[in-house]
Structure 1
Amino acid sequence: MFKKLRNRFLLLNLVIISVTMLIAFASIYLITYNNVARDISMELHKVSDLNRKPNKGASPRPWDSGIGQPPPDFNHLQPPERSVSFTLVTDLQWNISDTISIFNTEDSFYEDAKKAALSAKVNTGRFKLDDNHWAFIILPFPEGYRMVFLDITAQQAILTNLIYTFCLVAFAMLIVIFFISRFFANKSIQPIHEAFDKQKQFIADASHELKTPLAVINTNVDVLLSNGDDPIHNQSKWLYYIKSETERMTKLTNDLLYLTQMDYSDIKMIFTEFNLSELIENVILTMEAVFFENNISLKYEIEPELTIHGNREQIQQVAMILLDNAVKYTNLNGCIDITLKKRHNHNIFSVTNSGEGIPTEHIHKVFDRFYRTDKSRVRQTGGYGLGLAIAKTIIDQHNGKISVKSIPNETTTFRFELPSV
């Protein structure tokens, strides 16, 4: 599926770029072609005007200036530079009566040139003769026609080379663009692929977590139904199991709904300025009994009067999640070290607990939903692996950062940074 999506994206990108290049190259070629055509037309008329000048001592030609009119001034006309041209003068029946040329050639060449021009059936055009390209213009006068020919092989070569250059550049660019587009297509598809994989994993994990309590409830209901004659007080333990699993399912669904609301809800949380130092101290006081019951020694260092802008209840929930997580994974007679301090423009809260730690290969997964490094302890700790995911979502919404660092068989440190006020 993702391969097809990538290929469609790649194909669409190549089509768009190819059409864009085609339009750009076509525009450049048309502009160049029009410029060359204009220059050729100007040069043809220039040659025509130059060849109208009579030779010294010769009688005026019939197509020169009319009777009683002064001859035109040709002093301003300059011969075309590096151009090969000739003029044919014909009568009304297209028989050649005069040839004006700077080079000598066979009469058959002029006849072929005349026939090629006449076969075009236009007053101006182009043709190819003896591997050369020629442009011509036919100008009528009372006694016949004047046919001016100009060698445009060099100009035609420029246009041909321009086409070849465009094709070569386009081919090379398409190859380069193909690999670049494929690279960025893969990069674009990767987040979608990861999101899809996470969604699949999320559905599988949620189904697995719901399946166990449902199985327990179903089993206990079957036991109750099979002992329908017993009084209710004899069935209390089965009811207790059902209630316990129902509570676990309720907590799971509440956490899932909470994560969904935080991820997709457009409702803005109410942010206010509050004393973070006071909040952390209150959370520690709330958890002191838990530390004592688990024989965990506690050390903490709280820098006073640190304030942030955010949602007090959510930040309190993050602190509770991190402390609860530390208690669950602290070894027997271990210790927890809590610090809150200000560094530059950020308030940094960290919780370090002794214990088995987190293997290096699992560090980048600890904030994933339903992820637990030791699934055998699920029943013992009573968690679903959603707490750290909730904590990360809350910190992200507060424009903060949350991270974890662990030394296997020694310590694990969770910390978050929030902008200070």
Structure 2
Amino acid sequence: MFKELRNKFLMLNLIIITVTMIIAFSTIYLITYNDVKRDIDLELHKISDMNKKQKDNMKEPIPNFNSMEPPKDRSLSFTLILDNEGKTLSTLSIFDMEEEFYEKAKEKALSSNIDKGKFKLEDNHWAFLKISYMDGYRLVFLDITRQQAILTNLILTFLAVALLMLVVIFFISRFFANKAIAPIREAFEKQKQFIGDASHELKTPLAVINTNVDVLFSNGEDSINSQKKWLNYIKSEVERMSKLTNDLLYLTQMDYSDIKMIFSNFNLSETVENVILTMEAVIFENNIVFNYTIDENLIVYGNNEQIKQVIIILLDNALKYTELNGNIDLSLKRINGNSVLSITNTGQGISEVHLTRIFDRFYRIDKSRERKSGGYGLGLSIAKAILEQHDGKIYAKSVMNQSTTFTVELPSL
């Protein structure tokens, strides 16, 4: 699919460039052609005017036309004076050519039935002009082989340049097409994985619910009180599914850039302190030593509730992975114009392999442990999505069997 998309992109790009080159080269050629044609017409009229004033006895013959080199300052030309019946009365030429050549040239010009045109004779290209003169007319001929060669070379040059450019542009376009398709391919793969993971996560609670419902049906004569165990299992799984669907809907909303939360200035220091107050009891119950350092009056621009959710996610994550009697250290400081929140917990740590993927949706280091704690691997994804909307950053570092630190950076006012 992506290969076909890339090929369509390449084909469209090459067609557009080819059409553009054809238009550009055609324009240049037509301008050059009209300039050459205008010069030929001016030269023909100039020769006609000069020969009109010449007398026949002033003609200076030069022998052997075929062996002569054309003068550098002018083109080869001659004039034939004809009567009304097309009979040659006189010839005006500085070159001594055979009468047969003049006759062939005359026949070529007269057979075209036009007053001005071109023809090829003996490997040379000639232009002619027919002008009424006394009781007959005058035929002026000009050798335009050099001009014709210029136009031919121009076409060949255009073709060679166009071919070379298309080859170069093909490889350049393919490179950029691959670059352009890479994010689409990545997004498609993530979406595919996302759907698969979501389906897998929903499959387990649905199976549990279905099993417990079957048990209830098989004991239909028993009272509700005697079936509380199965009903509690069903309720627990429904709550897990509700949390999962709510998190998925929240992430979907975050993915749409046109859906914006209401932003305002708020005191991040107070927000962090409020979250700590709500979680102190849980921290105490888990026999965890909690230390925190918070700089006062750090003001940021954003949505207070969303940032509060990020702090809760990170603290909750630290609680899950801190061993018994372990430590959690929280600090909020102003560093280089940013409000920097760091949460460090002691524990097993996270390996480098997992550190690069912990912010992916549904990614869990220990799936069995996450399921016991009720998690789906969406918390860090939600935190990252929120911070991206706030032009902030989140990253993690860890020392195996010692500690893990999550750091959040937000622009301060």
State TM-score, norm by structure 1.
0.91
Whole-angstrom CA distance in 1 between matches of 2:168 and 2:125: 36
Q: Tell me the SS of whatever aligns to 1:404.
A: strand
Question: 1:43, 1:80 within 8 Å by CA — same for their partners in 2?
Answer: no
Whole-angstrom CA distance in 2 between matches of 1:57 and 1:370: 105
In the alignment, residue 14 of structure 2 is paired with which amino acid?
L
Which one of the candidate residues 299, 314, 320 is aligned to 1:328?
Answer: 320
Number of residue equivalences = 401
Which one of the candidate residues 255, 261, 264 is aligned to 1:269?
Answer: 261
Name the structure 2 match of 1:72: none
1:82 aligns with 2:68: no
Question: 1:291, 1:298 within 8 Å by CA — same for their partners in 2?
Answer: yes
Deviation at 1:80, TM superposition (A): 9.6
Name the structure 1 match of 2:28: 28
Any residues of structure 2 matched to 1:232-243 within 5 Å, and which?
232-243=224-235
Which one of the candidate residues 372, 381, 398 is aligned to 1:389?
Answer: 381
Name the structure 2 match of 1:6: 6
Name the structure 1 match of 2:91: 99
Name the structure 1 match of 2:112: 120
More moved, 340-349 vs 163-172: 340-349
In the alignment, residue 169 of structure 1 is paired with which amino acid?
V
Name the structure 2 match of 1:62: none
RMSD: 1.8
In the alignment, residue 330 of structure 2 is paired with which amino acid?
I
Deviation at 1:142, TM superposition (A): 2.4
Name the structure 2 match of 1:49: 49
1:408 aligns with 2:400: yes
Name the structure 2 match of 1:200: 192
Whole-angstrom CA distance in 2 between matches of 1:51 and 1:197: 82
Question: 2:360, 2:381 within 8 Å by CA — same for their partners in 1?
Answer: yes
Change (3 A) 1:97 1:260: same
Deviation at 1:52, TM superposition (A): 1.2
Q: Tell me the SS of whatever aligns to 2:53.
A: coil
Any residues of structure 2 matched to 1:231-310 within 5 Å, and which?
231-264=223-256, 266-310=258-302
Whole-angstrom CA distance in 2 between matches of 1:93 and 1:23: 47
1:108 aligns with 2:103: no
1:39 aligns with 2:39: yes
Whole-angstrom CA distance in 1 between matches of 2:312 and 2:386: 13
Whole-angstrom CA distance in 2 between matches of 1:355 and 1:151: 95
Deviation at 1:286, TM superposition (A): 2.1
Deviation at 1:57, TM superposition (A): 7.8
Question: 1:280, 1:319 within 8 Å by CA — same for their partners in 2?
Answer: yes
Deviation at 1:82, TM superposition (A): 2.6
Whole-angstrom CA distance in 1 between matches of 2:46 and 2:399: 90
Whole-angstrom CA distance in 2 between matches of 1:171 and 1:330: 66
Change (3 A) 1:133 1:410: farther
Question: 2:347, 2:402 within 8 Å by CA — same for their partners in 1?
Answer: yes
Any residues of structure 2 matched to 1:174-189 within 5 Å, and which?
174-189=166-181
Deviation at 1:408, TM superposition (A): 3.1
State TM-score, norm by structure 2.
0.92
Deviation at 1:105, TM superposition (A): 1.5
In the alignment, residue 396 of structure 1 is paired with which amino acid?
E
Deviation at 1:364, TM superposition (A): 2.7
Whole-angstrom CA distance in 1 between matches of 2:185 and 2:54: 83
Name the structure 1 match of 2:367: 375
Change (3 A) 1:104 1:57: closer
Name the structure 1 match of 2:134: 142
Whole-angstrom CA distance in 2 between matches of 1:168 and 1:331: 73
Question: 2:56, 2:92 within 8 Å by CA — same for their partners in 1?
Answer: no
Aligned residues with identical type, % of pairs: 66
In the alignment, residue 404 of structure 1 is paired with which amino acid?
A
Question: Could you report, residue by residue, the CA deviation over 1:250-295 in whole angstroms, capped at 9, with x for unpaired residues?
Answer: 1111111222222237443222221111111221222222222223
Whole-angstrom CA distance in 2 between matches of 1:149 and 1:80: 18
Question: 1:348, 1:415 within 8 Å by CA — same for their partners in 2?
Answer: yes
Change (3 A) 1:55 1:413: same
Question: 1:349, 1:416 within 8 Å by CA — same for their partners in 2?
Answer: yes
Whole-angstrom CA distance in 2 between matches of 1:330 and 1:46: 101
Question: Could you report, residue by residue, the CA deviation over 1:141-189 in whole angstroms, capped at 9, with x for unpaired residues?
Answer: 1222211111111111110000001101111111111111112222222
In the alignment, residue 21 of structure 2 is paired with which amino acid?
M
